[in-house]
Amino acid sequence: MIQSTKMSTKKVTIAGMLGAFSVVLSMTPIGYIPIPILGVNATTMHIPVIIGAIIGGPKIGTIIGLIFGVSSFIRVGSPFFADPLVSILPRLLIGVMTYYTYKAFKHSVPAAIIGTLTNTVGVMSMVYLRGYLPFSAAAGVAVLNGTTEAIVSSVIVYIVMKGLKDYKI
């Protein structure tokens, strides 16, 4: 028997809405939350990908990750984001890693942490591997931003998922 690969209208709508939300975050200051104590900005643009993967599965998460990656590719903020291997490829993995972490732990906080670290470590690894930054600089950014972003995304995703606790896709 051939299994249908069609997505429901509900799933397409969720992917589109969360993808659009990710793009809006990238174009507004709320895509970057300043953490003055550390002197960094925590990126929030990957959070819709995490939420989409938790409520819709790895395919929905990957679609939203693609939208996020393409929007960062189009809106080049630094030279290495003009490289699709940096701006798009790591974002495709956020939803997959988030979904399977959520499935394993049955909780949004570990899923948010792994989704965030997939984004940060994936992007900074590609930045290093493509020769845009030396390892020490890429690792420093990954540790500082990754830790901050994991905390911020864990809190936001936890609150959103609490609000969606009875939501069924």
Domain locations along the chain: 9-163
Give mean pLDDT, residues 12-35: 86
Q: Is the domain defined by 9-163 classed in CATH 1.10.1760.20?
A: yes
pLDDT in tens, 146-160: 999 999 999 999 999
d(CA 16, CA 60): 9
Strand boundaries in 2-150, DSSP class E = 32-35, 40-43
99-129 confidence digits (pLDDT tens) = 999 999 999 999 999 999 999 999 999 999 9
